[in-house]
């Protein structure tokens, strides 16, 4: 586990304040790396004063909740990736769900007719997340399969459709329920939205079979069809940013939907992008900002005006970044619910948080609701343990910024925004945290308090 030392740079060494957290006994774990999203080059700093202000507030929050949830949770598979005809580990199909691709696809889409998460209780999630120190939430309003977890007027492939059993539930519009509940508890609200839509006949045209994650026709050859997809996407995002209360972040996934000239061929997954898929982000972003002034837009991996922060996936940058960034990392091994998932120990979650904030980032921790509409108990257990740790250590986490040398050995640093306080975290890389009788660490040269080369902190 970790504890932190907090001291004022303007005071004498004798006034050093030591705060020690409750040590949690937990085994260590290694982050899983799957289809990692790179950090795109060419970041453009926003010029809108409201966006700049909101980014500053977002950087104060440090810790957010990510949730991937949809009909796919019933099969316990990797989100909607199994309907993508690519030969990757995360796209493998289970034969019991269909022997051929099109049989599988039909059965997958029929999951709509059995989705009935009657245990859905967003207040339970918000209470646990708030106690654990999370300050914002990002929810999958629509994943790549096109199934809308909100009451869109653009498609009947949605949770509020009469085809979906849960549609008769008073909480059927789960996006609205989640947004309202978390907002009422003081969270900032993020709407995850997939730009590609594998259910839409305007993206995967039924005239052709899909070949991979990309559009399956040439938008330049069929401009009218592509324009219909652009309008379809625009209209759905307009719904989310105009009818669901205050939305602080528009988190756009599916980086293959982009202008062809922005493709980075050095990135493996972008090498499959052969056609221009320009969806007119200026039009979409302008509409979103009109509906929600100052909204942070995250057009993942597409550098330009609409990628207001970058989003490494299942990874932590090795060095601090001088731009706003957020690591989205799963609590288990999967972004979506899978039975008997292996959840990371709380110790590992805390270590990840410390490393991320010491390098200037935010930590978006994903927890996947199951088919009945609730988390596994293991997720609540970790949130409860995080809550105990946060009660003691939160002042070293929130509203902090980086300070060189960022970390030395097992010691990691953050500072208060006014630079009057430096927080020192100590991480133990062993399976359990053994609290020694004293800590010895070297005071970095750039710290203004420097009475001696080494400080020895007695632990009583």
Q: Superfamily for 49-78+110-398? A: Glycosidases (3.20.20.80)
Q: Across 216-289, where does the E strand assignment appear?
A: 249-253
Burial 206-221 (b: 16+ CB within 10 A, else e): eeeebebbbbbbebee
d(CA 296, CA 102): 38
What tokens were used for 222? 């069929």
Does residue 337 or residue 23 have the better pLDDT?
A: 337
Residue-range domain boundaries for the chain: 2-24+403-458, 49-78+110-398
Name the band, by pLDDT with cuts 50, 70 and 90, for residue 428. Answer: confident
State the pLDDT at residue 442.
Answer: 67
Report the sign of the C-alpha dihedral through residues 77, 80, 85, 91, in that order: negative
Instruction: For tokens 């982000």, name the residue.
Output: 281
**DSSP secondary structure letter of residue 217:** S
Mean pLDDT of 50-56: 98
What tokens were used for 5? 């030392």
Q: What is the pLDDT of residues 369-400, one digit of tens each?
A: 999 999 999 999 999 999 999 999 999 999 99
Among 76, 73, 187, CA closest to 122: 187
**Max mean pLDDT range (4-8, 9-13, 141-145, 262-266):** 141-145
What tokens were used for 66? 């990510």
d(CA 339, CA 378): 12
Among 332, 285, 336, CA closest to 74: 336
Give percent above pLDDT 70 in the chain: 86
Q: Are 35 and 313 in contact (CB under 8 A)?
A: yes
- Answer whether residue 21 shows pLDDT above 90: no
Among 180, 171, 119, CA closest to 149: 171
d(CA 168, CA 149): 14
Instruction: Kindly report which listed range (167-181, 289-303, 422-436) carries the lowest average pLDDT score.
Output: 422-436
- Answer whether residue 460 shows pLDDT above 60: no
**DSSP secondary structure letter of residue 343:** P
Give percent above pLDDT 90 in the chain: 79
Q: In terms of DSSP H, where are the helices of 62-213?
A: 101-109, 122-131, 174-184
- Answer whether residue 2 shows pLDDT above 90: no
**DSSP secondary structure letter of residue 43:** -
Among 205, 209, 198, 233, CA closest to 219: 205
d(CA 347, CA 154): 44
């Amino acid at each position: 586990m970790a504890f932190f030392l907090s001291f004022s740079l303007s005071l004498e060494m004798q006034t050093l304040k030591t705060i020690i957290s409750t040590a949690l006994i937990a085994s260590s774990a290694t982050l899983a790396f799957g289809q990692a999203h790179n950090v795109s080059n060419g970041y453009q700093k926003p010029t809108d004063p409201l966006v700049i202000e909101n980014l500053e507030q977002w950087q104060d929050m440090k810790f957010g909740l990510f949730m991937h949830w949809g009909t796919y949770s019933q099969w316990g598979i990797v989100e909607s990736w199994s309907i993508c005809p690519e030969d990757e580990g995360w796209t493998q199909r289970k034969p019991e769900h269909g022997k051929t691709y099109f049989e599988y696809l039909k059965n997958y889409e029929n999951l709509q007719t059995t989705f009935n998460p009657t245990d859905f209780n967003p207040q339970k999630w918000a209470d646990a997340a708030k106690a654990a120190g999370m300050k914002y939430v990002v929810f999958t309003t629509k994943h790549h399969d096109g199934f809308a977890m909100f009451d869109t007027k653009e498609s009947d492939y949605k949770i509020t459709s009469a085809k979906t059993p849960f549609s008769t539930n008073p909480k059927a519009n789960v996006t609205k329920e989640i947004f309202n509940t978390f907002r009422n508890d003081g969270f900032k609200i993020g709407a995850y939205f997939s730009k590609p839509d594998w259910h839409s006949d305007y993206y995967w045209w039924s005239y052709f079979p899909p070949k991979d994650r990309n559009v399956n026709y040439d938008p330049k050859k069929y401009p009218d069809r592509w324009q219909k997809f652009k309008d379809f996407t625009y209209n759905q995002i307009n719904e989310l940013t105009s009818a669901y209360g205050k939305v602080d972040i528009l988190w756009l996934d599916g980086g293959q939907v982009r202008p062809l000239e922005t493709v980075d061929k050095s990135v493996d997954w972008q090498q499959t992008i052969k056609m221009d898929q320009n969806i007119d982000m200026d039009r979409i972003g302008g509409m979103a900002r009109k509906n929600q002034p100052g909204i942070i837009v995250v057009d993942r991996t597409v550098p330009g005006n609409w990628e207001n922060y970058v989003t490494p996936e299942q990874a932590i940058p090795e060095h601090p970044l001088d731009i706003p960034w957020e690591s989205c990392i799963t609590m288990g091994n999967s972004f979506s619910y899978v039975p008997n998932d292996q959840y990371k120990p709380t110790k590992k979650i805390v270590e990840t948080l410390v490393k991320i904030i010491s390098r200037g980032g935010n930590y978006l921790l994903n927890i996947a609701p199951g088919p009945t509409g609730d988390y596994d108990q293991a997720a609540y257990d970790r949130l409860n343990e995080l809550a105990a740790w946060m009660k003691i250590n939160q002042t070293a986490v929130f509203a902090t910024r980086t300070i060189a040398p960022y970390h030395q050995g097992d010691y990691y640093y953050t500072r208060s925004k006014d630079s009057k306080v430096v927080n020192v975290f100590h991480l133990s890389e062993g399976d359990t945290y053994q609290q020694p009788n004293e800590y010895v660490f070297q005071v970095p040269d750039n710290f203004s308090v420097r009475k001696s080369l080494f400080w020895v902190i007695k632990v009583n």
